[in-house]
Homo-oligomer: A and B are copies of this chain.
Amino acid sequence: MMVATLLVFIMHLGFATLEAGLTRAKNTVNILFKNTIIPAMGLLTYAFIGFNLMYPGADFAGSVFGFSGFGLSLPEGWDSSNYNAGYTYFTDFIFQAMFAATAATIVSGAVAERIKLGPFIFFSLIYVGICYPIVGMWKWGGGFLNTMETPFYDFAGSTIVHSVGGWAALVGAFLLGPRLGKYTPTGMKAIPGHNLPMATIGVFLLWFGWFGFNGGSVLTADPGTVSKVFVTTAIAGAAGAFGALVSSYFKFKTYDITMVLNGILAGLVSITAGADKMGVGEAALIGLIGGTFVVFAVVLFDKIKIDDPVGAISVHLVCGIWGTLAVGLFGDLAGMPQIIAQLKGIAIVGAFCFVTSWLIFFTLKRTIGIRVDEKEEREGLDINEHSMQAYPDFASKD
């Protein structure tokens, strides 16, 4: 569990390098800043409020909302065993805390290169500190999604983590509008990422961390289950790469590394909901479909002019939904009752996240504004918001 915690921690570096690699050099400091400060603030917020919203425990106040007070201390008359056995209170907190900031980090990618820093941090604090743990409680804190007749199943968070981030990413990217010059009257203009080795490092670190994300979600050190989850996680990521390779080759007639990288993530998000319930063949199929979906989703979002610089919506929302649904279609839980339970969970979580993230982003847009001005966007956020450059020693092409 503690090793798993560390692996999830390093995913934040994966997100940082992936997002920075897939965007332009002139916005790199801004992206690094966001992806450093969000996990840091997420940890503090989750300790102060989030954990007690997500796992209200003895002070459990209902099936939709509960809260056990501010700050982090083992509540009186209540111990780890109230909700799970085999690890300590602090282990539970730190593992969950490492997850928490992920939701905001996913959004970060979709709104990159044009969002104002202050409003984004404000959004992240509320979304990570309040919205994410409320949704999490519905399933993992013993809430109503877990106590339905056929409980909604989401092993490690295709919906509870990835879709939660994905919905807000969709809302944010939509309300911001596309980057300048992305969709022109003469068609869509690709804006290539400035550092593909860094993006590749990001995806490998994410895959590495995913073994902790999924493996740790077994919540015991039972080697049988953990090792099976490792295999399904590895196979789904690999199959996602293969699916994206094949479909992007047929679509674009080229070997697109960014599609393969997103295909890996797509496979991983897709297996996350059912990593412990799938056989090896099923994991491969789920990953393969996820890797294919992501290629077409990227094309689709560009068609409807939702500009997502890193493909976060395609990876985390589309494949988060797919993976959640797949629990009803394949593996140990497959069957109509489970399909319905999965659809219920997807819809309820989706509605809540869509509405709350809309409320936050829309309020910010109408008050302090969420988008940098045109001059700043053209020159880059690094010079304007941070007074520094990511690579001051190198000559740029422009």
Residue pair B397, A392 in contact (C-beta under 8 Å): yes
Which one, B36, B89, B200, B208, contacts A32 given CB within 8 A?
A: B200
Which has the most chain B C-beta neighbours within 10 Å: A88, A89, A284? A88
**Chain A: interface secondary structure?**
helix
Question: Scoring A residues 26 to 49 as 1 if CB is less than 8 Å from chain B, else 0, what string do you get?
Answer: 101100110111011101100100
Residue pair B211, A9 in contact (C-beta under 8 Å): yes
Given A6-B211, A36-B261, A230-B2, does the pair A194, B91 have CB atoms closer than 8 Å?
Answer: no
Minimum CB–CB distance from A204 to chain B (whole Å) comes to 4
Closest to A190 in B: B388
Chain B positions within 8 Å of A195 at CB level: 197, 390-391
Residue pair B385, A238 in contact (C-beta under 8 Å): no
Q: Is A78 an interface residue (CB 8 A)?
A: no
Closest to A12 in B: B204
Q: Is A224 an interface residue (CB 8 A)?
A: yes
Contact size range, A: 35 or more
Minimum CB–CB distance from A74 to chain B (whole Å) comes to 11
Complex alpha-carbon distance, A391 and B393, angstroms: 11
Complex alpha-carbon distance, A216 and B36, angstroms: 25
Q: Is A231 an interface residue (CB 8 A)?
A: yes
Complex alpha-carbon distance, A2 and B211, angstroms: 10
Chain B positions within 8 Å of A193 at CB level: 392
Residue pair A230, B33 in contact (C-beta under 8 Å): no
Residue pair A192, B392 in contact (C-beta under 8 Å): yes
Chain B positions within 8 Å of A280 at CB level: 47, 71-73
Closest to A26 in B: B393
Q: Of residues 366 to 395 in A, which have CB atoms within 8 Å of B's CB atoms?
A: 385-395
Given A33-B255, A245-B37, does the pair A94, B231 have CB atoms closer than 8 Å?
Answer: yes
Residue pair B32, A197 in contact (C-beta under 8 Å): yes
Residue pair B393, A194 in contact (C-beta under 8 Å): yes
Residue pair B208, A9 in contact (C-beta under 8 Å): yes
Residue pair A2, B201 in contact (C-beta under 8 Å): no
Given A16-B200, A88-B223, A256-B388, does the pair A242, B44 have CB atoms closer than 8 Å?
Answer: yes
Closest to A32 in B: B200
Q: Is A64 an interface residue (CB 8 A)?
A: no
Question: Scoring A residues 1 to 26 as 1 if CB is less than 8 Å from chain B, else 0, what string do you get?
Answer: 01101110110110011001000111
Q: Is A117 an interface residue (CB 8 A)?
A: yes
Q: Is A239 an interface residue (CB 8 A)?
A: yes
Given A13-B205, A87-B223, A260-B36, does the pair A239, B44 have CB atoms closer than 8 Å?
Answer: yes
Residue pair A25, B227 in contact (C-beta under 8 Å): no
Question: Scoring A residues 261 to 288 as 1 if CB is less than 8 Å from chain B, else 0, what string do you get?
Answer: 1001000000000000001110010000
Given A2-B227, A227-B90, does the pair A40, B257 have CB atoms closer than 8 Å?
Answer: no
Chain B positions within 8 Å of A35 at CB level: 200
Chain B positions within 8 Å of A10 at CB level: 204, 208
Complex alpha-carbon distance, A241 and B280, angstroms: 41
Which has the most chain B C-beta neighbours within 10 Å: A12, A37, A224? A37
A-B contact pairs, 10 of them (CB 8 A): A5-B230, A13-B205, A16-B200, A26-B393, A33-B257, A72-B280, A195-B391, A252-B387, A256-B388, A394-B394
The 5 closest A-B pairs by CB, nearest first: A13-B204, A40-B241, A90-B227, A40-B238, A91-B227
Given contacts A88-B224, A256-B388, 16 further A-B contacts (CB under 8 A): A9-B211, A16-B200, A24-B393, A41-B241, A44-B238, A47-B231, A47-B235, A47-B280, A89-B227, A194-B392, A195-B390, A196-B389, A196-B390, A197-B198, A201-B201, A252-B387
